[in-house]
């Protein structure tokens, strides 16, 4: 009899890293066990192709036993958890909220439930809360997120394009980035931002800047039309791990990211990506990449290799064995 595993997440944000982590885990685990996807809120219509079941206490529709894998601590579980009797509980901690983590651990460890095992999305998250557990990079489909053919790179009539994607929320964008985008396009580049409609008031007058709503394209399609991936968030939001950065690296893009972010532990500066501290450093890196095709190709290839090593079958097999034991 196959082991029963329940993956639990709100599944409400089609651009959310937690949702896509959950779906990728479902794909991987489904090859080894009986997996059920549960949403603690109304699932996003974009996920309609996935067999997601809505948790509803009134109709007794909720996971009862088996292995519970709860992705994230930022969402409410609801009173159904008091009635459930999991044989094993795994919590994936991927946001920097120790208060929510402690509340979630308290809730899950009541009523005689098994001790919660924590998986951390980045090593710094583990160190910050003084706990221990496996550290797992968000799993990505490396066949889907693969380098595009870039025969057009040397085309003289094509503008060098930097871009980024995220939720369409101002906290996901640093206020100084508008100035960097304007400067970059004034020097012959172009910018495409998916999840950038929130910047329309500041950039709508710049024709070389394309602002798309979140989810306008599939993320792999969007990334394969870029020459470079640029990323940082506002001071109001610290990116815990940055799945989008890993997706860009998997696509063979040179990534240029602010050093303040959990993704920085996966990037070796100037080898498989670039980390900057100041606006001036960011502009200098972007200029250098725009002018040096060989450099961006070399760094992009190293980025792809980093993801292939980090998500190699042997590595993923270890996590599959952990989740299904």
Tell me, yes or no, whether 36 lies in a domain: yes
State which of 101, 136, 171 marks the end of a domain.
136
Total domains, the chain: 2
The parent domain of residue 102 ranges over: 4-136
- Supply the CATH number for residue 170's domain: 3.40.50.2000
Tell me, yes or no, whether 19 lies in a domain: yes
What pLDDT, on the 0 to 100 scale, is given for residue 229? 98
C-alpha–C-alpha distance, residues 260 and 242, integer Å? 11
Residues 109 and 190 in one domain: no
What pLDDT, on the 0 to 100 scale, is given for residue 235? 94
Which two tokens mark 267? 């990037």
Residues 88 and 196 in one domain: no
Which two tokens mark 89? 């509980």
Q: What does DSSP assign to residue 67?
A: E
Residues 117 and 161 in one domain: no
Residues 170 and 209 in one domain: yes
Tell me, yes or no, whether 321 lies in a domain: no
Residues 252 and 289 in one domain: yes
C-alpha–C-alpha distance, residues 174 and 184, integer Å? 16
C-alpha–C-alpha distance, residues 289 and 37, integer Å? 42
Residues 97 and 171 in one domain: no
Which two tokens mark 134? 């496996």
Residues 249 and 116 in one domain: no
pTM of the entire structure? 0.94
Q: Estimate to the nearest angstrom the gap between the alpha carbon of 160 and the chain centroid.
A: 25
From first to last of its 325 residues, the chain has per-residue pLDDT tens of: 789 999 999 999 998 999 999 999 999 999 999 999 999 889 999 999 999 999 999 999 999 999 999 999 999 999 999 999 999 999 999 998 999 999 999 989 876 778 999 999 999 999 999 999 999 999 999 999 999 976 545 444 579 999 999 999 999 999 999 999 999 999 999 999 999 999 999 999 999 999 999 999 999 999 999 999 999 999 999 999 999 999 999 999 999 999 999 999 999 999 999 999 999 999 999 999 999 999 999 999 999 999 999 999 999 999 999 999 9
Sign of CA dihedral 289, 223, 159, 151: positive
Tell me, yes or no, whether 93 lies in a domain: yes
Tell me, yes or no, whether 76 lies in a domain: yes
Tell me, yes or no, whether 45 lies in a domain: yes
State which of 136, 161, 185 marks the end of a domain.
136
Contact 300, 271 (CB under 8 A): no
Residues 84 and 169 in one domain: no
Antiparallel, parallel or unpaired: β 160-165 and 67-71: unpaired
C-alpha–C-alpha distance, residues 274 and 267, integer Å? 7
Residues 117 and 211 in one domain: no
Torsion of CA 124, 6, 87, 104, to 10 degrees: 40
Contact 249, 307 (CB under 8 A): yes
Residues 131 and 210 in one domain: no
Tell me, yes or no, whether 317 lies in a domain: no
Tell me, yes or no, whether 204 lies in a domain: yes
- Supply the CATH number for residue 93's domain: 3.40.50
Residues 170 and 34 in one domain: no
Residues 88 and 163 in one domain: no
Placement of tokens 């797992």 in the chain: 136
């Amino acid at each position: 009899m196959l082991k029963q595993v329940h993956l639990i997440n709100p599944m409400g944000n089609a651009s959310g890293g937690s949702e896509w982590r959950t779906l990728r885990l479902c794909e991987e685990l489904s090859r080894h066990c009986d997996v059920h996807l549960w949403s603690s809120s109304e699932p996003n219509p974009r996920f309609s192709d996935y067999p997601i079941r809505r948790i509803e206490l009134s109709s007794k529709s909720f996971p009862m036993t088996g292995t519970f894998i709860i992705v994230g601590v930022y969402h409410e579980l609801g009173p159904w958890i008091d009635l459930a009797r999991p044989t094993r509980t795994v919590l994936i901690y991927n946001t920097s909220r120790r208060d929510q983590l402690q509340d979630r651990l308290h809730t899950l460890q009541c009523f005689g439930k098994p001790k919660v095992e924590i998986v951390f999305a980045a090593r710094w998250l583990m160190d910050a809360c003084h706990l221990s557990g496996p550290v797992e990079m968000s799993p990505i489909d490396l066949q889907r997120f693969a380098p595009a053919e870039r025969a057009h790179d040397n085309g003289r009539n094509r503008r060098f394009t930097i871009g980024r994607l995220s939720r369409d929320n101002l906290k996901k964008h640093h206020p100084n980035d508008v100035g960097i985008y304007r400067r970059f396009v004034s020097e012959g580049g172009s910018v495409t931002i998916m999840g950038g409609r929130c910047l329309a008031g500041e950039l709508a007058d710049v024709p070389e800047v394309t602002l798309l709503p979140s989810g306008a394209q599939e993320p792999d399609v969007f990334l394969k039309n870029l020459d470079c991936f640029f990323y940082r968030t506002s001071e109001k939001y610290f990116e815990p791990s940055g799945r989008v950065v890993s997706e860009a690296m998997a696509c063979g893009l040179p990534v240029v990211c602010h050093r303040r972010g959990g993704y920085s532990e996966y990037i070796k500066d100037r080898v498989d990506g670039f980390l900057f501290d100041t606006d001036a450093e960011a502009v200098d890196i972007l200029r250098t990449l725009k002018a040096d095709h060989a450099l961006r190709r070399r760094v992009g290839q190293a980025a792809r290799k980093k993801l292939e090593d980090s998500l190699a079958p042997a590595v993923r097999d270890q996590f599959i064995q952990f989740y299904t034991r």
